[in-house]
A and B are shown apart, each in its own frame.
Chain A
């Protein structure tokens, strides 16, 4: 089975802090994705990557950056956390664009 893990299930940070969310997959997938999920808005794509050191902006990249130094790891960075970034963050990986396997999610609260 594909396994996608995320570094934390719950995280509480203060406004202005730098936040790192880590995602690791063990199935040698080329594609990796970061989403945030908010009530009534569904899943919104922040960034995605189709290869090591490659990144593409999704629909809502503002306030975020990403890093993919190794194929199995895709990191999401909040340079200066703000309260409107309080959300559930979901990482996913796939071989094909549609068969995405999701991690358990990180619920981030920014105070």
Chain B
């Protein structure tokens, strides 16, 4: 079993749709969680952190479910520019063991 698993997609949604991705992790000692965004043929960039209480940044909402060991990313009112691959990142207790998911590809169509 992979340490961090994501549905690879692709998720194809129309503009304006709401879409959600999940990411499951196997290490119960994981402490820190993040979402990165990677555009086609570009490097990954930090999108947002995921806090225990959940957090929102504009159209993006991230949530953590420790009991079930998954994090989620919700995108409301999808834009064409949201098309990218979304990588979840899980860091274990010592903050040095960073694990990336393989990514979920999103395509927003007009």
Binding site for B on A (CB under 8 A): 35, 40-45, 90, 96-100, 102-105
Contacts and interface: CB of A to CB of B under 8 A. Distances in A.
A74 to B, nearest CB: 15
Contacts of B91: 97-98
- The interface residues of chain B, by DSSP majority, are classed as strand
Contacts of B96: 97
Contacts of A100: 44, 46, 98
A98 B102 contact: no
B72 to A, nearest CB: 18
B53 interface: no
Interface in B6-46: 8, 32, 34, 42-46
Contacts of B89: 98
B51 interface: no
Interface residues of B, number: 20
A104 B78 CA distance: 26
B98 A42 contact: no
Contacts of B8: 40
Nearest to A94: B98
A103 B101 CA distance: 19
Nearest to B103: A42
Q: Which of A41, A44, A90, A102 has the most CB of B within 10 A?
A: A102
B95 interface: yes
Contacts of B87: 42-43
Interface in B34-85: 34, 42-46, 49
Contacts of B100: 35, 42-44
Nearest to B42: A104
B20 to A, nearest CB: 20
Contacts of A96: 95
B36 to A, nearest CB: 8
